Structure 1
Amino acid sequence: MWMLILALLCFVLYAWFHSRDRRMLRNGVLLVLGVLLGLAGVLNLLWDHVPALDWIVAKLILGSLLGVLLLGLALIANGVTMVRREGRRLANLLSLLAGIAVFASPLAVINLLNANTVITVPLAVLIFFGFGYLGIVFLIFLSYAVIYSRGTHKVAPAAVVILGAQLIGGKVPPLLRARLDRALEVYRDADDPKPLLIPSGGQGVDESRPEGEGMAEYLLAAGVASGDVRPENRAVNTEQNLLYSAQIQREAGRPGPMLVATNNYHVLRSALLARKLRLDAEVVGARTAWYFVPSAFLREFVAILKNHILLHAVLFTPFVLLAAYYFFLYLD
């Protein structure tokens, strides 16, 4: 019963925090924790009253293990597709590496435990709990990223910022076009006065002109009034996209909330960053090519881990201490 009470408390806190500000990852933590505690509580109540429940749970566990194996195969296949279509950059290898890790990590743990030495057993503990921890954190991130990206924004934006992406041959590629088209939807659906559109992005070393310039050209060709387009041509990352665009919005005399348009995989991290920068901004997402999504979400996950590295180090400390315990146990 106590697990159900804790689950209810998690859901209440989730609803409260979500109503105050959707741009918090703790919302995802509370939601996933509430679901897991709720399922555990229901199973605990039914265990003595449903004779076939143990058989059902066993089947679910086996199904989950099979699902993990299928996930590993899918990630490897996606990694191969990414390399073929996008090249061999590290960012394009993430799904391939994750798929290999799905199979390699349990084999490594088994072999290290079988070796049964002062080094291998603590290392097996670290690998086992390390991948388990990353799996749970990724589940939280992915769940809330999907929930946030599918939510509807409730603001009438004074400005719509379109986050830049690489131009190909000086032109807008499909990935960036999806962001621009999403911003155009918001612009056309808005009441008068129309929001200011701020295409944001500087010039990369492999680009012939700033991204903001190419994006502005696309918006003007789509029929947006020239007075409603103010390109930002200096930013080299998402934080600068947001800060420089907010500055342009202020200089244009368009006070009010900001709406940020990007691809669906990038929505949650952009929203977290906007909150960190204390901007009155929500984020909306555009569709992304199916083969690009797994690697893109993994890349966003890695970026969020890096932004909260100290917190995760603290949370993982008990498992490090457990590994140290086995190390000193074997020394004795």
Structure 2
Amino acid sequence: MLLLAFAALLLVVFAVARARQRAQLREGTLLVAAVVFAALGVLQLLVSSDPDAARTTIFVVAVAVPVILLVLAVFLITNGITMLRLEGRSLANLLSLLAGVGLLVFPFLLLALLAWGGLGGFLAAAGVVLVAGYAAAAFVAFLVSSLLYAALPVPRQPRAIVILGSGLIDGDVPPLLRGRLDRAIAAWRRASRAGGEAPVLVPSGGQGPDEPRPEGEAMAEYLRDQGVPGHLIRPETRSLNTRENLEFSRAIVDDIGAPGPPLVVTSDYHVLRAGLLARRRLPGARVVGARTAAYFVPSAFLREYVALLDRQRGLHVMFALVFGATLVSVYAAIFLV
């Protein structure tokens, strides 16, 4: 019952966090943890009240997990090949392929470490399981947090709409960036029809080393071509990353002075990280995502996940240790008590 009580507590904390309606990784972490502890609590009850049902449940899970991992590995490898074919060779485009290969290699690595024998082999295998388990749990929490943030209500009358740049191709707006601009135009038209003052659009992006002009300039040109009046477009052309997008756009947004929260438009996979960055750099902003081509999504989400891990390396090391200690404690609570 202790595990079920802890799951209920996590759900209460999740509800409190959800009520704040802001981008936060803790929402996904709390919800996933509550579901896991609830499942373990049910298993604990089965072990004590119906051992045969508990053994059957464990057997089904033990069979299902390798099958699911195999299917996921094949999917990721196939997606990785598609990414290389359509997007070219780069580390970011290799992520889904590497993840799929890693899933296939993982069981053989464990068998090799255990075959090594002795305490050293066992501890090495346990360490690999801990790191892989934590990485998988953190990724699921990241996905759930992204979905929860994307489901929050969108302001219908923002005072400004900031569009984050994503790179030009030969000085022109590519499909990925066009999706962001089209989503911003749709939000602008909806706000204009709702009455009141039409929001200002802030296309944000500087000039990269391989670009003939700033992204903000090309984005502004696209907006004008789609019928947005020029006086409602205020490009930001100095930023080189998401953090600078938000920081440099803030001065433009603050200068507008109209009521209502700012709206930030990016791609769907980038919503959570942009929302986390916006909390300090563009307070009150709500970030929304434009649809991305389906084949691009797995690698894009993996890239965002890696970026978030890298941003808080020390914190995740501490969480991984807590994760390992929790697994040992839960195992003892279910099978040794």
Instruction: Judge same fold: TM > 0.5, yes or no.
Output: yes
| 1:272-326 CA-partner distances (Å, limit 9, x unpaired) | 11114362111101110011000000000000001111101222346899xxxxx
Per the alignment, residue 64 of structure 2 pairs with: 63
Alignment of 1:48-197 (within 5 A): 48=49, 52=53, 54-116=55-117, 120-154=121-155, 156-190=157-191, 191=194, 192-197=196-201
Cα distance in 1, alignment partners of residues 51 and 168 from structure 2 = 60
Sort the Cα spacing of 1:229 and 1:167 in 2 relative to 1 into closer, same or farther, 3 A. Answer: same
Cα distance in 1, alignment partners of residues 224 and 251 from structure 2 = 22
Cα distance in 2, alignment partners of residues 148 and 119 from structure 1 = 43
Q: Does 1:274 align with 2:278?
A: yes
SS in structure 2 of the partner of residue 208 of structure 1? coil
| 1:247-274 CA-partner distances (Å, limit 9, x unpaired) | 1112344454211101110000001111
**2:155 touches 2:263 (CA, 8 Å); kept in 1?**
no
SS in structure 1 of the partner of residue 289 of structure 2? strand
Please tell me the residue identity of whatever aligns with 2:74.
Answer: L
SS in structure 1 of the partner of residue 236 of structure 2? coil
Cα distance in 1, alignment partners of residues 9 and 155 from structure 2 = 26
Cα distance in 2, alignment partners of residues 250 and 121 from structure 1 = 58
Per the alignment, residue 288 of structure 1 pairs with: 292
Please tell me the residue identity of whatever aligns with 2:134.
Answer: Y
Cα distance in 2, alignment partners of residues 32 and 266 from structure 1 = 21
Per the alignment, residue 298 of structure 1 pairs with: 302
Amino-acid identity (%): 46
Q: Which moved more, 1:52-61 or 1:74-83?
A: 52-61
CA RMSD of aligned residues (A): 2.2
Per the alignment, residue 261 of structure 1 pairs with: 265
Cα distance in 1, alignment partners of residues 223 and 60 from structure 2 = 53
**2:8 touches 2:34 (CA, 8 Å); kept in 1?**
yes
Cα distance in 2, alignment partners of residues 220 and 200 from structure 1 = 15
Per the alignment, residue 214 of structure 1 pairs with: 218
Sort the Cα spacing of 1:60 and 1:319 in 2 relative to 1 into closer, same or farther, 3 A. Answer: closer
Gaps spanning 5+ residues in structure 1: where?
Answer: 322-332
Sort the Cα spacing of 1:42 and 1:123 in 2 relative to 1 into closer, same or farther, 3 A. Answer: closer
Cα distance in 1, alignment partners of residues 136 and 275 from structure 2 = 22
Please tell me the residue identity of whatever aligns with 1:212.
Answer: G
How many residues are treated as equivalent by the alignment?
Answer: 321
Cα distance in 2, alignment partners of residues 150 and 256 from structure 1 = 19
Per the alignment, residue 30 of structure 2 pairs with: 30
Please tell me the residue identity of whatever aligns with 2:207.
Answer: Q
Sort the Cα spacing of 1:12 and 1:156 in 2 relative to 1 into closer, same or farther, 3 A. Answer: farther
**2:170 touches 2:212 (CA, 8 Å); kept in 1?**
yes
Sort the Cα spacing of 1:318 and 1:186 in 2 relative to 1 into closer, same or farther, 3 A. Answer: closer
SS in structure 2 of the partner of residue 197 of structure 1? strand
Sort the Cα spacing of 1:272 and 1:66 in 2 relative to 1 into closer, same or farther, 3 A. Answer: same
Q: Which moved more, 1:216-225 or 1:47-56?
A: 47-56
Cα distance in 2, alignment partners of residues 188 and 240 from structure 1 = 27
Per the alignment, residue 318 of structure 2 pairs with: 314
Per the alignment, residue 249 of structure 2 pairs with: 245
Cα distance in 2, alignment partners of residues 117 and 55 from structure 1 = 31
Gaps spanning 5+ residues in structure 2: where?
Answer: 326-337
Cα distance in 1, alignment partners of residues 187 and 51 from structure 2 = 52
Please tell me the residue identity of whatever aligns with 1:77.
Answer: T
TM-score when scaled to structure 1?
0.90
Q: Which moved more, 1:169-178 or 1:110-119?
A: 110-119
